[in-house]
Each structure stands twice: as structure tokens, then as C-alpha cells.
Structure 1
Amino acid sequence: MHSPSSAPIHTPRTVALAARADLQELFLQLSPRLSVRVDTKNSEGKWQHKYVERSLPDRAPRGPYAVYLSSFFRGYRWLCFDLDTKRGDVGPDLATLLRWLEEAGLTYVVAASGSAGGRHVWVTAETLLDAPLVESIAVSAAKRLPTLDFGLLKSRTGAVRPIGAPHRNGGRSELLSPETPRRAAELLTPASCGNPADAFLRLLLVIDAVPAAEDVRPKLVGRDEFGKIIDDNGPRLAGTPRTALDRETMALLTRRPPADKVSEVCASLLTKLALRRWSQRMVERLLEDRRYREGGLLHLCTSPGVGSLRVMLNEAEAEEKFERQWKRCVAYAAKLPLPQDALEWTENLADVVAQVEQLQAAADACPERWATESGPADRAALDLFCLLALRSGSTVLSLDVRRAALATGYGRSTMHRAFGRLRLDSWLGHGADTGPASTHELLPVTASHPAFPLSARGGTQRNLPPKGVTRHTLLSRLEKQIAAGQADLFSYGRGTANHSGGLGHHAGRVYQQLALHADRALSLTELCQRTGYAPRTVAKHLTRMRDLLVATRAVMTVHHECPTCQAAPGERCRTAAGAVLRRRGADQHTARQTLAAERSSTPYYRPRPGSLVAAAKALGCHGVRASRARRYAVEIELYRWWQQEEEWMRAPKAGIRTGVQTHDEQAALVLTTLPRQPRRRYPRTSDGRGDHGAARARIERRIATA
């Protein structure tokens, strides 16, 4: 056995293990520490996902276990990129990560993590890597890969289940690439992996050369700059701290959390403190009080033990854990939507709310405009622009057709034509095109607006609503409306051998009205007035939705007033003398019975939101939006790759560029002895032209690995 500080990298036993392709024993032999983390069971004999540290065994444990990535002195032997399906679609992020590794000249091993769709990408280093370099790679990659769980690459206790280790919910971590375990064992062994330390410096340059995802939230102005993170002896949100805590926050802080929600309560508490503009030092003072350490901040001072017991951390481990958790919660709080009481975060928010309300009122006042063949797509695009305007506080928006298509449930070509029709009808205007995404501007509603009806003109121009009052209501309505229309059940087209058609977007518009008024039933007449369709058309869509159990019919049986004796609803009919009517077989006048029968014969309809997925599966159109998102991810990656190729073709070829190459958004300068960054060659045909079909197939193969 070896010591943590002088771990052997290449021994006869590791050669034998690599030859036998026993990956679990190989991980144990190459472990940078003399211990592993092993999962524990509860009283019912089930794995509870609470790992404790145990001595390094000779053989792999039978239950779930994890090996450390770094030594006790923070020297990393492996880099494991954990892509989690809980954070989003793993496929595009996996393709991007593998492209980075190939451009940096690094070898890798891809494995299924054991959970549904998760992936582990293992990269071995010839020599132990320093923690600052690994942390820089993890932070840079996490800004560009939404599904990457980079916490294990920044923590002293970062550990991952090796290939072949069982999962607590069943299954094991399985090898995906390379195909043979023997080749994977060679790539996981430091002596034969072929990954020098310079290659990891090159990886950092490759990642930093890719622009990070832009923050869609605008810069906020006012007394408190909400959402801006500053460094005040630790990260915190800009603004004046509010030291007075509300009742809910104090309850989280002082009460001991349940054994199964210790981390959840701590994360919620730290996020609330970050939103109150607390600094790291202010939270450290709370940790000095025993009441709070044993309350909501218990997770920062302890680690999971056996059963419901907690193991106390030493001072260094607790400090490192607190800094990591606080930084994560501050970053999360900066991306949260602003509360309703913080409407001063932008100067023109009230004007944006008023303009969006005018646009929605004008759109609702002319339902026939959206009842045409292209009307549902146009209304969906307009609602999306209004929703983004309310979220960003600006009427000038940059939105490409693919993002709009995925958000509304339509195709990219349909959204492109919808944008053009909205511009022709003066709903949208052209903005300054400063990037790859087209910039549009929501135009205000004026008295001469062609789509604004005469009956609705004048009222909204003089009597504006109270500023900021309807923002939350408009956001909720638009989110429900767009979510109801983007369901796979309402995809367009008739079913063919290669395509499964849904009910269509016109049926989606009818369902949107049912979903917006789920608190009450709507009659056929009211649906026709709100959608602009003919009664025959609405009845046809409702019949198909009823057959799929998406909508139900309800008969409204209520009390009615009596035309004969003027009895109020709920009262019995009376005779001319004032006595209660008690005739044989009836206690109401004939006119009142006739009125009740006429009103109860009117059909009313209610939605059944929980049946949308089941109905789409029954109709054969489930997964249309997911396949469209996958196709658009391939197109975006293909376009980006060709742009890099064009940039390389236009670059001067006289001589070889030397020295450090940096990007404008690169946070830090990294020195390297490499002459230049590697370039990923674009496929070419025999005559030297770009082979876009081969490039697309190569990208699809990478995404297919997920």
C-alpha cells in the first residue's frame, strides 16, 4: 500500500490490472488517498445516499462507493466531469465537452453514471495536477455547460463512483467509450494515458476562448443594484444589507431541520440571506452562535453519518464548506427573478408593464386576427416577446428563431415568418442588429394601430394602470398561456408514416383559454368570443380533446330566479297569497322550471392538465419538442464549427503565430509553452470544399453517445 504523498503511478500490479481490464481494482490501486467513501443503509436496509469515509479496501465494496479525485494535499490524479440530467439535456453539453478535450489533445473515458441519462467523463493526468488549475477548469467549464456539477472538482472531499460501481437505485456505472475495458484501463492509468500537464493548460485556454453564456438579465439601476455580485471579503449581492430578518427566515435559522432535509434547509436559508444583501462576514457571525449552528446552519458544520447521526467537521473543513456553499448560493440568488417589492430595479419597468398590458388588451380585443391559418403562431410569438419584456424590463429584445421555436412549440421557419407578419402589422419593429440573434422592438399601441379595434381605442391611452401593479399578474398569465400552447399534443400536421401529427395549434388556442380560466368552466359561446373561431370549429376541437380526456364537459346546475313570483335564487316559489307553493309533483312555477332547463342544457367545459402527456403518447406525437431541441442543438454546433473554420481560413498563413493566445473574455492569463492552440479540422470533400453533411454526422454521433 502507498502513502498519499508518494502514490505510485506505475507499478507491476497496475500493469496487470490494466491487462485484465479490472477497472474497479484499478481505481482502488491508483487511488490518491488511503480511504474511500462508502454509502450507508437505513433501518429498512435501503441505501440512503449518505457516504462515510472508510479505509481503502483490497477489493471493491458490494454497495455504492466513491474514490477521491485528489490527494490529501489537493493534488488531482483524475478530472471527472459529472453531467447530470437534473440540470438539463446532457447531449449537447457532452458533445461540447468532448470537442474541447479533443482540441486540447487529451484522452478521455466516457461512462454512464448509473442514473438515467447521466454521464461521467474521466480524464487522467500523467502527474498530479495542482488544485488552482483544476478549479479554474471547473469554473470556466461550468459557465458554458449548464449540466456540469463542478463542485466535486473544487472540494477537498470530491469523490466519484468509479466505473463498475453500483448505484443506490439499481444498475452500475457502465463504460461507453472506448468500447473495450482494456483500452479504458490504459487511458485511466497515468503512465499510459498520454495527458501531460501542459495539455490541461491548453484545455483551460480552449474553454476560455469560447464566450460564456450571456446573462439575460439587464444591468439594474437605482439605489440598490440588484443582481450584481461584488467582492466584499467574499461574494455578496450589491446593495444595502437588510439586517432585520422576517419570521420565516428566523424559523429556518433557529429550528433544527429534519434529518433528511439538512442540506435543503441550509441552501434555502443562505439564499434568503444572500437576497437580503448579507455579506460573508455577517453569516460567519451567525456560525459563532451555537443556536444557529444546531439550527438551519447545521449542514455547514457537520457531514452525514450513519442513520440520522451527524459527524462534526473540524475548523478547516467547516470553513472550506461554508465558503463553497455561500459562493454557490450567492451565484444562484443573483439569477433569481426579482421580488415584487423590488420594482425600482429598472427605471422604465412601469412603462414596460403598461405597454405590455396595452398590447395584450389590443390582441384580446381582436380575436379574429389570431383565428387565421397563421394566427396561432403569430399570437404565440407576440406573447413570448411580451413575456421576455416583462422579465427583462426592456422592450428591445434579441431573440433568434430557434429559441422562440423551442419556447412556443413551433418550428424555426414558422417563427421566422411569424416575426415578419408581426412587423407588417406594426406589432414589432426592427432593432439594431448587433449579434447573431435578430433584435426586435415591441411597438406601443396607438389610437391608429391597425390591429387595435375602435371599441378599445382611447381607454388605455389616457387611463394608465397603476405602475408595477399588474406585472405579476401578466407574468403568470403569459407563462400559463405559452406553457399550454407548447405541449406536444398540439403539434401541427397529420399523421403519416414518418410523422405523427397532433391536434394542431388551433386546438391549442382553445385549450389555452380553458387553462387560463381553470377556476371556472367556460361555455361554447364564451370560447368562441375569446378565440374568434366559429362554433362549429370550437366544437370540433373540443370533441377531439374530450375523446383524449384532455377536456371534460360539465353541466352547470344552479338555482334561478322565478319570472312568475320574483323569487330570488335559492328561495322557494310562493303563491299570490304569499304561501309556499306545494303542488303535486312540483314546488316551482312552470316558467322557472323552463328557465332552469334552458340554462342547464348549455354545455360548459373544463381542462384536465395532467392528461396532456398521456394524450400525446396515445396520439403518437410525444417527444416532438424534445427531438426538435436536439436537432437545433446540432445545427447550432454545426454553425459555430463552420464559423471557426471560416475565421481560420481568413487568418494570415504567413509564418506561425507564437506566444500566448487569449480571448477578450478570458478572466486570467495562463502561461504555456505551446506554440498555438490546436484547431479542430472541419471535414472536407475531395475537391476541398466543406463537407457539411459529414460534419453534421460527426456531431450527431457525439450527441448520440448520450
Structure 2
Amino acid sequence: MPTPGVSAESSEHSPSSAPNHNPHTGVIPTPRAARADLQELFLRLSPRLSVRVDTKNSSGQWQHKYVERSMHTLRGAPKGPYAIYLSSAFRGYRWLCFDLDTKRGDVGPDLATLLRWLEEAGLTYVVAASGSAGGRHVWVAAETLLHEDLVASIAVAAAKRLPTLDYGLLKSRTGAVRPIGAPHRNGGRSELVSPSSPGRAAQLLTPATCRNPSDAFVRLLLIIDAVPAAVDVRPLVVGQDQVSEVIDDDGPRLAGTPKTALDPQTMALLTRRPPADQVSEVCGSLLTKLALRRWSQPMVARLLEDRRYREGGLLHLCTSPAVRPLRVLLSEAQVQEKFERQWERCVAHAARLPLPQEALEWTDNLADVVAQVEQLQAAADACPERWATESGPADRAALDLFCLLALRSGSTVLSLDVRRAALATGYGRSTMHRAFSRLRLDSWLANAEDTGPAGTYELLPVTASHPAFPLSAGGGTQGNLPPKGVDRPTLISHLETRLAAGQADLFSHGRATAHRSGGLGHHAGRVYQQLALHADRALSLAELCQRSGYALRTVAKHLGRMRDLMVATRAVMTVHHECPTCQAAPGERCRTAAGAVLRRRGADQHATRQNLAAERSSTPYYRPRPGSLVAAAKALGCFGVTAGRARRYAVEIELYRWWQQEEEWMRAPKAGIRTGVQTHQEQTALVLTTLARQPRRRYPRTADGRGDHAAARARIERRIATA
């Protein structure tokens, strides 16, 4: 019964009246007046003069497609679902909103962990129910606008430790969240949970009264980073030890060698214009297929440079939906941001999908590939003199590269171009071309069917008639096969260490001239490879000669030059030797026949033990110093040789690609070309777009109409220099 003198309507809306508990949501609903006040607060403090408003379809249902509306055209809060921006147009964040979604898992533990982090950092917060069943929004206001890099770092660090956190809105320029009190498209509203008082919540959401300085957000980042994060591997067990692993180098991608040749279905998705109501679905399916084919983020980003693909399967990345059938063109910064977000999401989805049939075949054949690589490496190590010749280092580097790619791809048939091989081994493209020919003559490689711009080769197994490794009855790898597939990580690490040591600028080929600086040479690199492969112990001069195949004088010469540059150091093994006379262990004193400690004048060891120590001290041992390779290359004047070679090869590849596009345009029929908006023949409705028609970049021509390759190269070099 209402209090006398107070109407029922005023009692219902009075802040002092106790709100009713909703048994279905478990949330104490906020009074209607308080909801309106909080919505008005969010609209008044919004960092932008516009909001995002949901639209309805022809049936009158909310379709979860938000469009931007100016606040000047709105009279108060919109009646339907809407969202406010978290950052200004200059990427300064006024609020941080941590969106915990029940579709990703259990929200309860993540919410408790997040609130504990905020309290340890000294930050105040407001918790709201998002409107969906069990979802939570944690709002944190800032006294001053926060920089985008700090917010993105907090979002990424928290997402690694909170599985239910949807952190995309904290990294996007268009990140927006429904404020407290805004309706949900499926019914219900975003309700205030903590604190229960709307007035206290308004103080915590206002920058002037929230008491959250920017230093507290830095402390929050340090607190989150102090918690160990889960390993960024998303496995899915399909059979025995068959998993998909996500690695991050230039962006997230699935582990494995990319398959650049696209199947007809994927090519159709990429080139055909999607229907107006399936733009995002087609883009998601296309990116997932590319992720399953082990494409990397830079490879997919290269597709965005082609107009055909921007208006085809990648249309969703370049535009945003507007009033159908129109789409709004995005800026290049927005396209890049949207692409990175969608690619990360599709790679994570692809990692959880069952392995395709080609991946299952890859795991079945992997054991045989590992066994063959082990045989090839054993055969190559058994004849070090073969690689000590003038062209031997290049041949061995090419063989090691083929073996490494075979282990990574699970196939002995490989497509490898000479420029890629040159950058991976530290040699020139012409040297790699000749090395491939020599390996084919020696039966290490064989030509396979060529289906692309790169040469295709096949690694041959070791046989008894192999010229470089004659197998005997008493030993060899053919008689005793290693266990299949158990040493793949060890082999990969071994080959990567060998190739990395030979790729260093310090061991580049050539003598110093007036125009260029020469390194120590690839033969010195082969000696250093042995030191790097056995970094856990010191190697003697005799062992280095045996493993490298060089003469004693040659190895001593290379070690002397490396010691001068502090790349290798000499270690003397003179401490703690056993005694051959009294069998005293290292570290113990010598004893007489009666068992007493030997105490002679001037010596406390037997003569045989002293002779053994003198003999071992005369044998030099050497250790590597990997951290001094760059400093030694700078001191020698050959630093940047590999980087300069990579730049030249990038110019050559881009020049060849540009000329191929020019030849394709010259051969294409010119009559009847349409210059307007083009649609696919299977498309029934015309879809208009505001995408700019990018003109064809014309290839430079001479006065007589021929292609001017020198001018084209100069343009590419200028563009790369300013990139």
C-alpha cells in the first residue's frame, strides 16, 4: 500500500522505493527514470556527435545492422537498440567497456578475475547486464582521454586471459556499445547491476568524478601482463596427435606451408560479386578457406590491392552496409583495421575445424618424409669433403633448405624459386640456380612437374649406388632406419640453426673493393656452423676438421679471422683431470699406495696426471659467440648485404608482376568493354556501390611504344624508398 499523501505513480518512480527482483535474469532492474538519466548521461558525454542505431527489415524485426545517426536529428535516446562510441574521431578513449559474452563460455569466473584486476589497479567501475542471457558489460571511465595504443594493449592482454572477452570493440575505430538502459534486439534492456544506486553509477561514469587517472590504466596493463597467459595454440584432436596450431609472425596463421594454388571453389568466391544479402558470409567463408590453405596475413593483404577482389569476395572488408542496396566505401585505414580483425577471427575459427583430407594425408606421409630427410642428412654428413669444394657450401645450403621445407610441408615434392632460396641461405640467385643444377647431377634432386612460376623439384632417397654416400654392409642409414617421425622437431631446429649461421652478413662472399665490402666467405660460415650446432660444448681443432672436411691449415685460418672479430673464442680444457696412477677422480687429490694423501715438495699430483693436464691444455678448443655476428659484420663493413639483396629481389619481382599485368591487358579484347558498374551473370538484382574504380597503372613506354623497363624499375624503387 502506498504511503498516504504520495501517489502510486510517484511511488513507482521514486528513487527511494525498493526495486523488484527479476527471477528470470537474476538482476535488480533499474527504475525507469534512472535508466533515462543514465542514457542521457551517456549521450551528453559521448566522445562523438553521432550514435549507431539498429535498423529493421521488411518484417519489422531488428536485423542487427547499425547505421550512424547524428544526435541533432534525434530527440533524446532512440526507441530501439543503439550504441555509443567509446572513442573520439582521433582515437582518444573516454570509456573502456569490457564485453563478456556467454557465447564464448562461462562469464562468472572471468568477471570475478576482471573485477579483481580493476580493484588492484585502483580503478572504479560499473557493472551492467548486457541484455542477453548472462552477458556482462564492465564500464570504466577515464579522467582524460586514453591513447589508442594503451587501450589496445590492455584489450589484447586481457583477451589472452579471459576467454569470454570480446575485445574487438576496444581495437576498432568504430567500436560502440549499447549504454545502460538501451534496449536489446531480442527483448530486455541493459540493466545496472553494480553499484545499485543510479546516482553513484553516474558519478563513476563521469570523467570529472570517476577518479581514474591514466596512470591507473598503466598499472592495470602491468597487472594483467603479470598473470601467465595460456599458450596461443588452438588444437583440435581429430585422430592421434593431429592438431591445428595457430602461430603469430606477421599476423595469425595456421602452421604449415602455404598452398598458393587456389581450387575452383575458392577462386569463384574470390572473383564473383556476392549477393547483397550475403556479403559478410561470403567474405567469412573465403577468409576461412584461405586460412585452411595456410595463407599468411600479408598474402591475403596482397589480394586487397586488386580491384577485382575488392569488388568480389573481399567486398565486405572495403565497405560497410547502408540502406540497401547501397554500401558505403571505407577509408584505407578502416579497411586495414577491419581486415586484421576479420582475419584473426577466421584463423581462430579455422583452427577449430576438422582437418581436411589433404591435411590427413600430410600427417600420414610425414613419417616417411622425416625418415628420408634423416637419411639425406646422414649421407651428407658422411662425406664432408663433398661440401668443402669451391661450390660445396652453396650446394649444402640448398640441400638443407630443401630438407627443411620438406619437413615443414610433409612432402618431398617442392616448388622453390631461386630468389626465395637465395634469401633463405645467404647466397645470390645465380649461385642458387647453379647449385640446383649440381644437386640434380649428383642425384640429390630431380625435376618434377612444373605447375607454377617457381621450379618444382623432388628430393630423391638415398640408395646404395648414390655417388656421394656409398653404403657398406657394416653401417649406414639404409640398414638401420631411424624411428619414423620422432625426430622432426630436432631436425627442424638443426637445419634452422645451420641455415641461420650461413645466412649471416658476416659470411657473405666476395673481397672488399672500392664499391662493396666483402665478408669472411661461405667457407668460414661452414666452420662457424659446426660451432653453432655444438654450442653446448667446445670443439677441438681436429674435430672441426673432421666435421667440415677442410684441411687443418684452412680451419685454423678461418678460426683466426673469427677470433679477431670476437665471433669465436678459444677455450682451454685444463681443470680437473683424473689420475691414471691412483685413479683419483677429478677434483680429488692424489694418494699413495698406502692411501695417504700425496704430499711431495712442490707437487701434490702424480707425474702422469700432470702430463695428462699438459697434453690437454696444448689442444685448443673453440666456442661460438652468436651475439657478436652483427657487430662483427658492421666492423668488417658488410652489414646489410642480405637486406640489400632482398630489396633488389623485391624490385625484380614487382617489375615482373607489373609487366605480366601489362601483357594480360594487351592480350585482352578491347571492344565492348563496359565502364559502368559490372555484375555477375548469375546475379539477379543490381547492387550499387560507391567503390572507386581504380584505373589501370600503365606501364612506362619508350618513344617507339616498347616497354621501358628501366623507367618502370626506377618508379618501383622510388615507391619502395618512400614506403
Normalising by the smaller structure, the TM-score range is 0.5 to 0.7
Per-residue CA distance 1:657-679 (angstroms, 9 max, x = gap) = 67887999xxx997779999843
How far apart are the structure 1 equivalents of 2:70 and 2:281? 19
Pick closer, same or farther for the CA change 1:679–1:594 going to 2, 3 Å.
same
Partner of 1:274 in structure 2?
Answer: none
What is the match of residue 553 of structure 2? 536
Cα drift, residue 525 of structure 1: 0.6
Report whether the alignment pairs 1:327 with 2:331. Answer: no
Among 605, 612, 618, the alignment partner of 1:595 is 612
Give runs of aligned pairs for residues 510-549 of structure 1, distance below 5 A. 510-549=527-566
> Which position in structure 1 is the counterpart of 2:408?
391
- The CA deviation at 1:656 is 3.2
- Separation (CA, whole Å) in 2 of partners of 1:663 and 1:361: 56
CA distance in 1, matches of 2:299, 2:452: 27
1:655, distance to aligned residue in structure 2 (A)? 4.2
Whether 1:87 and 2:105 are equivalent positions in the alignment is no
> What's the secondary structure of 2:465's corresponding residue?
coil
Q: Which residue of 1 aligns with 2:485?
A: 468
Matching residue's letter, 1:412: R
Provide closer, same or farther for how the CA distance between residues 528 and 50 of structure 1 changes in structure 2, counting only shifts above 3 A. Answer: same
Which letter does structure 2 place at the counterpart of 1:38? G
Return closer, same or farther for 1:670/1:333 CA change in 2, 3 Å cut-off.
farther
Q: Which residue of 2 aligns with 1:355?
A: 372
Mind listing any 5+ residue stretches in structure 2 that lack a counterpart?
A: 1-47, 52-67, 72-84, 96-120, 123-143, 153-169, 179-247, 252-275, 315-337
Contact 2:92/2:147, CA 8 A, preserved across alignment: no
- Candidates 382, 385, 394, aligned match of 1:368: 385
Matched, 1:681 2:698: yes
What's the counterpart of residue 630 of structure 1?
647
Give the secondary-structure state (helix, strand or coil) at the position aligned to 2:364.
coil
Specify the SS of the correspondent of 2:577: coil
The alignment partner of 2:436 has SS state of: helix
Q: CA deviation at 1:326?
A: 7.2
SS at match of 1:465: coil
2:452 to 412, 420, 435: 435
Q: Closer, same or farther in 2 for the Cα pair 1:499/1:133, shift >3 Å?
A: farther
TM-score scaled to structure 1, two decimals? 0.56
Residue 468 of structure 1: CA displacement? 1.1
Higher RCO, 1 or 2 (CA under 8 Å, sep at least 6)?
A: 1
Cα distance between partner residues in 2 of 1:447 and 1:662: 62
Residues 131-173 of structure 1, C-alpha deviation per residue, up to 9 Å, x if partnerless? 9689969x98x999945999xxxxxxxxxxxxxxxxxxxxxxx
Secondary structure at the counterpart of residue 347 of structure 1: helix
1:399 Cα deviation after fit: 0.5
Q: 1:133 and 1:635, CA in 2 relative to 1: closer, same or farther beyond 3 A?
A: farther
User: How much does 1:331 deviate?
Assistant: 5.8
Deviation at 1:618?
1.4
Aligned mates of 1:429, 1:390 — CA distance in 2: 18
- The reply on whether 1:605 has 2:622 as its aligned counterpart is yes
Distance in 1 between residues matched to 2:486 and 2:651, nearest whole Å? 42
Distance in 1 of aligned mates of 2:692 and 2:351: 41
Assess if the C-alpha contact under 8 Å between 2:279 and 2:313 holds in 1. Answer: no
Report if the CA contact (8 A) 1:510-1:541 is conserved: yes
Provide structure 1 residue ranges, at least 5 long, that are not aligned to the other structure.
9-30, 53-65, 75-84, 89-128, 151-200, 212-319
CA contact (8 A) 1:430 1:441 kept: yes
Hey, what does 1:110 align to over in structure 2? none
Query: In structure 1, what is the Cα distance between the partners aligned to 2:641 and 2:548?
Result: 25
Aligned pairs for 1:440-459 within 5 A: 440-454=457-471, 459=476
Q: Secondary structure at the match of 1:587?
A: coil
Structure with greater Cα Rg? 2
Deviation, 1:565, is: 4.3
TM-aligned CA distance change 1:3 to 1:389, over 3 Å: closer
Deviation at 1:575, TM superposition (A): 3.4
Q: For residues 663-696 of structure 1, give each alpha carbon's deviation from its aligned partner in whole angstroms, at most 9, with x where no partner exists.
A: 99xxx99777999984321111111111100111
- Amino acid in structure 2 at the alignment position of 1:444: P
Return the match for 1:422 from 439, 460, 465: 439
- Cα distance change of structure 1 residues 32 and 520 upon mapping to structure 2, 3 Å threshold: closer
Give TM-score, length-normalised by structure 2: 0.54
Q: Is the 8 A contact 1:447 1:458 kept in 2?
A: no
Give me the whole-angstrom Cα distance separating, in 2, the residues matched to 1:470 and 1:202: 41
Distance 2:351 2:653 in 1: 29
SS in 1 for 2:478: helix
> What secondary structure does 2:458 align onto?
strand
Equivalent of residue 616 in structure 1, options 630, 633, 656: 633
Provide the rounded CA distance (Å) in 2 between the counterparts of 1:584 and 1:353. Answer: 62
Q: Distance in 1 between matches of 2:679 and 2:384?
A: 54
Counterparts of residues 107-146 of structure 1 (less than 5 Å): 146=297
Does structure 2 retain, via aligned residues, the 8 Å contact 1:7–1:32?
no
Instruction: Give the one of 70, 92, 97 matched to 1:38.
Output: 92
- Would you say the 8 A contact 1:561–1:568 is kept in 2? yes
RMSD, aligned CA: 4.7
Partner of 1:50: 150
Change in Cα spacing, 1:145 to 1:681, as seen in structure 2 (3 Å) is farther
| Residue 328 (structure 1) shift | 5.0
Separation in structure 1 between the aligned mates of residue 177 and residue 277 of structure 2, nearest angstrom? 9
Residue identity in the other structure for 1:87: D
3-state SS, counterpart of residue 150 of structure 2: strand
SS at match of 1:606: strand
